[in-house]
Structure 1
Amino acid sequence: MNNNNHESLTDIEDVTIESCEGCSVPCSTHQVYPSYLKINQELPLQGTVKPFSKHVLISTGKIDWQAHIEDEHESLASHLAKVINVTNGSDQKKNETIDKGSKKPKILITNSNRKNGDYDPLISNGDDVLLFPDNIIIRHVSPKHAAEFRNQFLCNKFGRGDDDLIQKNPSPTLPVTFTVEKMLYKSVILICSHKRRDKRCGVTAPLLKDEFDKVLKNKGLDVDSRVDNKDGIAVYMTSHIGGHKFAGNVIVYCEGKGIWYGRVTPCHVNLIIEKTVIEGRIIRDLYRGGFVQALVSPTPLWNQNLIESRASEPKTNTFNLVLKKVNLAPDGFTRIMSTINGQYPGPTIEVNKGDRIVMNIRNELEDPTSIHAHGIFQKGTPWFDGVPGQTQCEIPSDYEFTYNFTVPDQVGTYWYHSHDLMQYVDGIVGALIIHDPDDPYKAEYDEEILVMLTDYHHTEAQILLNSFLTPERDVPDNGLINGKNNYDCSKAPPGSTCVDNAGLAKFEFVSNKRYRLRIINTSAFSAFFFSIDKHVMEVIEVEGTYTKRNKIHRLPINVGQRYSVIVTADQSVDNYIMRSEFQKKCMPDGAISLPVVTAIVHYDGAPEDSVPKDIPWTDFLEECIDLIPETLQPLYEEKVPEATREIIHEIAFHKDSLGIDKAFINGSTYVPNLISSTLTKVFEGTTANLPASENAFTFNTFGEVVDIYFINTDEGEHPIHMHGHQFWLLGIGNGTVVDKTALNTVNPIKRDTSTIPISGWSALRFVVDNPGVWGHHCHMWHMQVGLVMQLIELPDEINKLSPPEEWAELCQLKRY
């Protein structure tokens, strides 16, 4: 395939698919499918493809095969199936999207109607194999050489830990020399035509093939129109690839990536050629998944190719994110949720250290919005921090805005979310992972697993916020792990839609493998204790800082915090409970009845449906407080500079002049300015006129070292997050007097979110070195009642920066 003509295929093009150029309604230009075909038009397509890392396409010259190609006696497919763990779509469960757990993407094997090249049957007898995304043709692979083919082309190329393929299935033959050629095609288009597997494919495929052939020939792009087939676009029929109900299924291989479309009709063919093959874009409304799926798919599907290439050169990663409201039922209770790309949690963003992140946001909510990359410093781009009233004006409904920033000096576990009112509580959240090519622990784990914890409400957040301002504060209805849990529908209000046993998240373990769990608490209010029955965890990262390894059983994690732990699958083959326990002492009294939030850890080889034994760790941990400092020691010691300035923030809660419960910092409750932003005022030179209610603190000296002491007079704990920085956590304690003799200035941990204890204090230190306006606030309910500060850092340096025009234009727009 030619790799010189396209940009990345991670862009998504919004298109209208109800009609096409040259069509009338109903369409009279193109062939249409018979009305008796039952093709699902309701379920969302995105995320309905099982992750796969390789596609083995076998040339057979046929257009139909046995229902299961691995059952064809003495065929290459049958022999490959014996020596490889195959994902060929046959085991996809009915009526469900793929559960994005921890299992590594496997290998897709299909037959095709491609004819084999010429060969002498006296010398060689076998089928040509096209291998994607390697973009190579392996000539005349004999069934008897299947194991050797696997060893040479499929092992050690798609992730650590796959040497066991060879160990479990050693090649029975001597090494074979295969003839390998590079594909000359610009693109390969595959159409599922497996009639004996499902008649829908047998009907749709010939119509699609005719239309692709016609369009490509008219454009001079068909293989036969090119000299030696070079740069032509090949179209082949293929056996079952999964998801009959979404026929027609089409895979486009281009630029070493695979784009899998569903519900394709002849009306879409020209669009696919123009947008995907020629322009290098993905058509959102047809997109099911593929090799680039991890960039735009529901969490926690990992981009295995990206993980393998962590040492690659920095690049630009583009993510197209549509914010819209849909009806979802994460725990079986249906409610309107605000989502990213129609899914919850939102897509996982994965990049490498040094990369550029481009987030194209389209706001289809009925309200204005913004997006904040939680924990990202935004050095040189403070206008992309995503806080209305502080760093930007809101993005109006039915409007598009782009966040464009780099991560030159950060690695670790982060997340992104709406920072507008309480929208993220309604679902606008996603993980953001920055891989480290120099990860000091990369030899200590085999795979990564994303674990997102949250409390969960069945009522929209703005309604909840109104009740939160009263003494009778609502508690969550439930908790979720990776967007899943069960709910007792007998508790649901009359008239609501609720289904029992909606399903728990499941994480796949393989005995003796080691897993890095990246754990994120995206709650509105709740702290948790996280654990896995009978499995020990070793903490290795907190919020972008590597830590010394320390074994624990239960991990306290408050709102906005992130940890990485290593877990070894060293227990007997069985099912185990993953737990996220509410820390109920930090919550209103009604939380006492909340159950433990659970998920399933399933060992390969264990019964799928067996109920795990209830074997929780019983270690006592104090609630409403972070891990003790002895457990969080930085891996790399750093000299902590002496402070040159001290600031004291006293936190109190009481009623304001209207009788509403509010949070006060040194007597002032924060009120955001949603007409402009503090950063705008810095550029205008008018920050001297900021009212006291904006809780702004200015730092003019580069390199100034600031100690902030929080004195909490409230009966609740507060997870405080600092934008634009990490800080050294020097200490915490009880009472309202900071014990400066107890501060750790030798090897304190560096992080961006820490908990101020109930009726206690905390001390943190940071260096003034990042020009911008940075929020410093409680996560997240208390932010809405005023527990917010603004750090105006180096205003003279800010004025040397040049914000984009699109950012300034936001403040000129009507946002409602």
Structure 2
Amino acid sequence: MGEVVEGNINAAPVSEDELYGFKRQEMYSGTLAGSVAPYGRHVFLCHESHETWLPRVESEGLPQRFAKSFKDRRADFAVETKLTVCGGGGESDGDVLVFPDMIRYKALKDTDVDAFVEDVLVNGKQWASGIQEELSGSFVFVCAHGSRDKRCGVCGPALMEKFEEEIGSRGLSDRIFVKPCSHIGGHKYAGNLIVFSPDSAGNVYGHWYGYVTPDDVPAMLDQHIAKGEIIQNLSRGQMRLKPEGEEAEKEDEHKISNGNSVVERELVETKGFTGGCCQGANGVSCCQEQTPEPVKKEASVKKNWFSWMEKEEVLLGAAAVGAIATIAVAYSIYRRSG
């Protein structure tokens, strides 16, 4: 008899990590670079524990009220803005964190939402009726929205645990803060996180990372946060108003070979030669010898023409006078003879 081959019924069950975690087949299969759309401000609304969030966390309560006002006034924002819910609980519920401003607005309530959006997000002012405080240190937001996508539900908590462990071992608990956040886009890139950390000049940018594993956490702390060095192989991009190089490309489109803009070129072409001297591109002179102005030549022709006309008029006048005198003499002789 042949050997009995056991079916898959006795095979070891596939773990969550292999299905949804850091060992899943799709890990590192997507292109991370350029997966973040341009924007200039990120608003985080602190709301309860991430473990209690609905798949659409903005579908009820304060997040719903905030999301509606945000959407209604979005066209009036001076800068493209993202809204994300982050972990709250206790006294932090209702707090609003704004980056790169590095400001925390305390205890927003349903009745405050419209005024807050108007004051802060539309008009760029301080919240007139609220309490605000300046933030310091670095902030790491890890997508842990498990009810929205299982991959983030598996990867997010594992990353937060590793961050807390490494931060504690370095004695940085008062300088680096880790929070779970709701869906930020790109579930397939889980673990997803955003780091807001000042660079050497004190500027704060939100840098997005994907496919981050617990093994990458030490580098996040020692390389990105401590030194401001981007981990390129995990980088999705960063908060920015326009894609890098866009302004330069647009400007180049309006340049011509000598470095003048299109407007400048049109002025040069329509102005014409004035007999002066110009400075060419790259220090090359385009000076030319002056030539007689066409206007002077035209004036000379007109002068000669008028001189000729004057002579003709004198001759015609003399002839006319002579003719009249001849007629007068003839008429006088005729009268005497009669």
Which residue in 2 is equivalent to 1:178? 130
The yes-or-no answer on 1:117 pairing with 2:91 is: yes
Query: Runs ≥4 in structure 1, deviation > 4 angstroms?
Result: 558-565, 630-633, 640-643, 727-731, 738-743
Which residue in 1 is equivalent to 2:231? 283
Equivalents in 2 of 1:207, 1:218: separation in Å? 17
SS in 2 for 1:67: coil
Structure 1 pair 706–107 and aligned structure 2 pair: CA distance change class (3 A)? closer
User: 2:140 pairs with 167, 189, 199, which one?
Assistant: 189
> TM-score, normalization: structure 2?
0.66
Task: State the shift of 1:156 in Å.
Answer: 3.9
Equivalents in 1 of 2:72, 2:184: separation in Å? 12
SS in 1 for 2:81: strand
Structure 1 pair 630–51 and aligned structure 2 pair: CA distance change class (3 A)? same
Equivalent residue letter for 1:57: F
Structure 1 pair 562–250 and aligned structure 2 pair: CA distance change class (3 A)? farther
Which residue in 2 is equivalent to 1:83? 69
Please say if residues 155 and 191 of structure 2, whose CA atoms lie closer than 8 Å, have aligned partners that are also in contact.
yes
The yes-or-no answer on 1:134 pairing with 2:101 is: yes
The yes-or-no answer on 1:219 pairing with 2:170 is: yes
Equivalents in 2 of 1:215, 1:108: separation in Å? 29
The yes-or-no answer on 1:199 pairing with 2:142 is: no
Task: State the shift of 1:201 in Å.
Answer: 0.5
Equivalent residue letter for 1:179: I
Structure 1 pair 642–241 and aligned structure 2 pair: CA distance change class (3 A)? same
Map 1:598-747; keep pairs closer than 5 Å: 627=266, 629=268, 643=277, 722=281, 724-725=282-283
The yes-or-no answer on 1:60 pairing with 2:47 is: yes
Please say if residues 253 and 259 of structure 1, whose CA atoms lie closer than 8 Å, have aligned partners that are also in contact.
yes
Please say if residues 116 and 128 of structure 1, whose CA atoms lie closer than 8 Å, have aligned partners that are also in contact.
no
Task: State the shift of 1:188 in Å.
Answer: 0.7
Structure 1 pair 561–642 and aligned structure 2 pair: CA distance change class (3 A)? closer
Equivalent residue letter for 1:276: H
SS in 1 for 2:68: helix
Structure 1 pair 211–628 and aligned structure 2 pair: CA distance change class (3 A)? same
Structure 1 pair 559–154 and aligned structure 2 pair: CA distance change class (3 A)? same
Equivalents in 2 of 1:740, 1:204: separation in Å? 79
SS in 2 for 1:154: helix
Task: State the shift of 1:84 in Å.
Answer: 2.4
Equivalents in 2 of 1:105, 1:154: separation in Å? 9
Equivalent residue letter for 1:63: H
> TM-score, normalization: structure 1?
0.29
Task: State the shift of 1:216 in Å.
Answer: 0.5
Equivalents in 2 of 1:51, 1:233: separation in Å? 26
Task: State the shift of 1:58 in Å.
Answer: 1.4
Task: State the shift of 1:283 in Å.
Answer: 1.3
Equivalent residue letter for 1:78: Q
Equivalents in 2 of 1:564, 1:278: separation in Å? 46
The yes-or-no answer on 1:209 pairing with 2:183 is: no
SS in 2 for 1:204: helix
Equivalent residue letter for 2:58: E
Alpha-carbon displacement from aligned partner over 1:511-564 (angstroms, at most 9, x marks no partner): xxxxxxx461xxxxxxxxxxxxxxxxxxxxx64xxxxxxxxxxxxxx6797747
Alpha-carbon displacement from aligned partner over 1:272-321 (angstroms, at most 9, x marks no partner): 10011111121111111222x46xxxxxx25xxxxxxxxxxxxxxxxxxx
Please say if residues 86 and 106 of structure 1, whose CA atoms lie closer than 8 Å, have aligned partners that are also in contact.
no
Equivalent residue letter for 2:195: V
Task: State the shift of 1:155 in Å.
Answer: 2.2
Equivalents in 2 of 1:560, 1:87: separation in Å? 45
Equivalent residue letter for 1:259: H
Which residue in 2 is equivalent to 1:41? 28
Alpha-carbon displacement from aligned partner over 1:707-734 (angstroms, at most 9, x marks no partner): 7xxxxxxxxxxxxxx4x45x78789xxx
Structure 1 pair 144–60 and aligned structure 2 pair: CA distance change class (3 A)? same
Map 1:473-622; keep pairs closer than 5 Å: 518=251, 520=253, 543=255, 563=261
SS in 2 for 1:34: helix
Equivalents in 2 of 1:36, 1:107: separation in Å? 34
User: 2:186 pairs with 243, 247, 251, which one?
Assistant: 243
Which residue in 2 is equivalent to 1:70? 58
Alpha-carbon displacement from aligned partner over 1:550-602 (angstroms, at most 9, x marks no partner): xxxxxxxx67977478xxxxxxxxxxxxxxxxxxxxxxxxxxxxxxxxxxxxx
SS in 2 for 1:269: helix
Which residue in 2 is equivalent to 1:774? none
Q: Which has the higher strand share?
A: 1
Structure 1 pair 742–266 and aligned structure 2 pair: CA distance change class (3 A)? farther
| Higher CA-based Rg | 2
Please say if residues 251 and 259 of structure 1, whose CA atoms lie closer than 8 Å, have aligned partners that are also in contact.
yes
Please say if residues 30 and 189 of structure 2, whose CA atoms lie closer than 8 Å, have aligned partners that are also in contact.
no
- 5+ residue gaps, structure 1, are 1-31, 89-102, 119-125, 159-174, 224-231, 295-300, 303-346, 351-414, 416-430, 432-449, 451-517, 521-541, 544-557, 566-625, 634-639, 644-704, 708-721, 732-737, 744-816
Map 1:732-771; keep pairs closer than 5 Å: none
Please say if residues 87 and 107 of structure 1, whose CA atoms lie closer than 8 Å, have aligned partners that are also in contact.
no
Equivalent residue letter for 2:130: F
Task: State the shift of 1:190 in Å.
Answer: 0.5
Which residue in 1 is equivalent to 2:12? none
Alpha-carbon displacement from aligned partner over 1:420-462 (angstroms, at most 9, x marks no partner): xxxxxxxxxxx3xxxxxxxxxxxxxxxxxx4xxxxxxxxxxxx
Equivalents in 2 of 1:290, 1:133: separation in Å? 12
Structure 1 pair 201–235 and aligned structure 2 pair: CA distance change class (3 A)? same
Please say if residues 33 and 236 of structure 2, whose CA atoms lie closer than 8 Å, have aligned partners that are also in contact.
yes
Map 1:257-272; keep pairs closer than 5 Å: 257-272=205-220
Q: How many residues align?
A: 265
Q: Which has the higher helix share?
A: 2
Please say if residues 60 and 116 of structure 1, whose CA atoms lie closer than 8 Å, have aligned partners that are also in contact.
no
SS in 2 for 1:146: helix
Equivalents in 1 of 2:279, 2:80: separation in Å? 51
- 5+ residue gaps, structure 2, are 1-14, 199-203, 295-338
Equivalents in 2 of 1:147, 1:632: separation in Å? 56
Greater RCO, CA 8 A, separation 6+: 2
Equivalent residue letter for 1:243: G
Equivalents in 2 of 1:150, 1:133: separation in Å? 17
Query: Which stretch shifts more, 63-72 or 134-143?
Result: 63-72
SS in 1 for 2:91: coil
Task: State the shift of 1:632 in Å.
Answer: 8.0
Equivalents in 1 of 2:235, 2:293: separation in Å? 57
Please say if residues 52 and 87 of structure 1, whose CA atoms lie closer than 8 Å, have aligned partners that are also in contact.
no
Alpha-carbon displacement from aligned partner over 1:381-411 (angstroms, at most 9, x marks no partner): xxxxxxxxxxxxxxxxxxxxxxxxxxxxxxx
Equivalents in 2 of 1:632, 1:563: separation in Å? 15
Task: State the shift of 1:81 in Å.
Answer: 2.2
Structure 1 pair 151–116 and aligned structure 2 pair: CA distance change class (3 A)? farther
SS in 1 for 2:50: coil
Please say if residues 275 and 290 of structure 2, whose CA atoms lie closer than 8 Å, have aligned partners that are also in contact.
no
SS in 2 for 1:197: coil
Which residue in 1 is equivalent to 2:121? 154
SS in 2 for 1:84: helix
Equivalents in 2 of 1:641, 1:177: separation in Å? 67
Please say if residues 519 and 564 of structure 1, whose CA atoms lie closer than 8 Å, have aligned partners that are also in contact.
no
Alpha-carbon displacement from aligned partner over 1:725-750 (angstroms, at most 9, x marks no partner): 5x78789xxxxxx996689xxxxxxx
Task: State the shift of 1:117 in Å.
Answer: 2.4
Please say if residues 94 and 106 of structure 2, whose CA atoms lie closer than 8 Å, have aligned partners that are also in contact.
yes
